[in-house]
Structure 1
Amino acid sequence: MINRIRDIRAQKGMTLAQVAAACTPPTTAQTIGRLETGMRNLSLVWMNKIAAALDVEPEVLLRSETAGDPQVTAVLTSDGADAPRKGGDALLPTALASEGALRVVAVEAPSGEYRSGDQIWLRELPLDQVNRGLNRDVLAPQPAGRFAFGRLLQHEGGTLTLLPPSGQKHVTVKDPAWIAVAEMLVRKL
């Protein structure tokens, strides 16, 4: 198995020293470098320590030698498509953040900026961090198996005020059991 520690560390903008310091207990940048390059075996214990330091699930650190992971092939700049400065795996944004369960909204009919066939991937927020969803699209459960989806305009007490993407009137949700914030839009071309 080949590890992806370097790719994930680079995408998170962390240095070897920062990852080493984030480990529990802290270790050295040299040790992290040896684990990245395969000069030292990546044991299950090290895998869990580094995954926690990078805030990803441990299995994200590994890739199969036979399965071809998507690679960053080109970058689009103001001058057009160009070769990337560095190669690397293309990781889904959902793999880079490990907190909160994932939920998906399937779009059946156009609504605001969303098109039929889109998938909106959302990540649950802890209820004490609902304000992180302000001015972003969120999904919240309502009674009787219904849901409210829209831009979170206000969070006051346990009450949310959402503006649906289709421009309908505001929706109020009181004391939702959970809230999920939009993290990624998947759209077939």
Structure 2
Amino acid sequence: MINRIRDIRKSKGMTLAKVAAACNPPTTAQTIGRLETGMRNLSLDWMNRIGAALGVDPEALVKADKTAQPQVIARLTTAGAESLATPRDAILPTELVDSGALLCLEIEAGQGEYRPGDQLWMRQLSPEDAGQLVNRDVLAPRSGGRFAFGRLIDRQGSLIGLLPPGIGQRQIVIDSPAWIAVAEMLVRKL
């Protein structure tokens, strides 16, 4: 098995020292470096500790030798496209978070910044997290098997207020939704 600790760490913008300090119990940057490079065996205990420190499922840290993985081969800068010194694994944003189920909202009719054919991938969270989601696009269940989608603009107690993306639409107020899903990734075919 090949580990992807370095790729995930770099995708999250963390140093070896930050990952080492975030481990429970804390360890050294040198130990994390040895685990990344394979100089030290990556045990199940280390996978759990490092996965928790990086905020990902421990299984995201390893991949099979023969699995084809998308690669980051270049970056776009002000000077144009530049190649990377060494390609690295492209880690999907969905693998970088360890909480909440993923849901997908398909856009059939363009509204606001969304176009027909878009897919909006959303992370399902607890209604208690709504306070952190103000000014983010969310989906929430309503009574009778219906849903409400829009920008979360207000939360007062058990009430949340959503502003739909269409022009001239009125605020929707939902009392005590069972869950709330926040937009995490927009997939748009070119």
TM over 0.5: yes
Q: How far is the alpha carbon of 1:102 from its aligned partner? A: 1.4
CA distance in 2, matches of 1:175, 1:126: 11
Structure 1 counterpart SS, 2:88:
coil
Q: How far is the alpha carbon of 1:85 from its aligned partner? A: 5.4
Counterpart of 1:174?
175
Q: Relative to structure 1, is the Cα distance of residues 107 and 16 closer, same or farther in structure 2, using a 3 angstrom cutoff? A: same
CA distance in 2, matches of 1:63, 1:48: 15
CA distance in 1, matches of 2:154, 2:116: 28
Q: Does the CA-based 8 Å contact 2:73-2:86 persist in structure 1?
A: no
Q: How far is the alpha carbon of 1:77 from its aligned partner? A: 2.1
Q: How far is the alpha carbon of 1:128 from its aligned partner? A: 2.2
Counterpart of 1:48?
48
Instruction: Kindly provide the amino acid, as one letter, of the partner of residue 186 in structure 1.
Output: V
- Show CA shifts across 1:166-187 (max 9, x none): 1222111111011111011011
Counterpart of 1:38?
38
Q: How far is the alpha carbon of 1:8 from its aligned partner? A: 0.8
Gaps of 5+ in 2: none
Counterpart of 1:10?
10
Point out the more displaced range, 125-134 or 1-10: 125-134
Q: Which runs of 4+ in 1 moved over 6 A?
A: none
Counterpart of 2:19?
19
Gaps of 5+ in 1: none
Counterpart of 2:163?
163
Q: How far is the alpha carbon of 1:141 from its aligned partner? A: 0.5
Counterpart of 2:71?
71
Q: How far is the alpha carbon of 1:131 from its aligned partner? A: 1.6
Instruction: Kindly provide the amino acid, as one letter, of the partner of residue 185 in structure 2.
Output: M
- The answer as to 2:109 corresponding to 1:109 is yes
TM-score (norm 2): 0.93
Q: How far is the alpha carbon of 1:86 from its aligned partner? A: 5.3
Q: How far is the alpha carbon of 1:80 from its aligned partner? A: 2.2
